[in-house]
Homo-oligomer: A and B are copies of this chain.
């Protein structure tokens, strides 16, 4: 089963304009053409587009994905290079996960802060709370996110 660009767009959720852009950037080296010039997408192409979406989510830029695509095109000789590329990215995604967790902590603290502020009627009242009336978890976050008097 093969697909037009409109089909491929519908099947993957990626706009046709974006697919053309990917193609132009070298991300879709296996997409075929009809005699008239229209692109033809195979099931494998669609699967590859989904992988591209994953790689984008993993933080790879279009150029990095183009590089990876190129390595794949070169065959099994580049397996180690690809592995290295992915391990590098894995570390970055792990770091990103930790960062997002830290951000969630911060937001969680802020939400608690505003819950208290709304309850007590002012920000000042929350800032004036003695430490023993602040949940230990919130104290810990406040400490981790350091910085003095602020919003």
Which residues does A use to contact B, with CB under 8 Å? 43-44, 46-48, 50-51, 54, 57-59, 72, 76, 79-80, 82-83, 86-87, 89-90, 93-94, 96-97, 99-104, 106-108, 110-111, 114-115, 117-118, 121-123, 145-151
Contact = CB atoms under 8 A, between A and B. Distances in A.
Given A96-B100, A151-B48, A79 B145 contact: no
Contact of A51 (B94, B114, B151): B151
Contacts of A101: 97
Contacts of A83: 111, 114-115, 117-118
Given A54-B103, A86-B110, A104-B94, A47 B150 contact: yes
A107 B146 CA distance: 33
A103 B93 contact: yes
Copies of this chain, complex-wide, total 2
A123 B72 CA distance: 10
Contacts of A46: 147
A97 B94 contact: no
Nearest to A92: B107
Given A100-B93, A118-B80, A44 B148 contact: yes
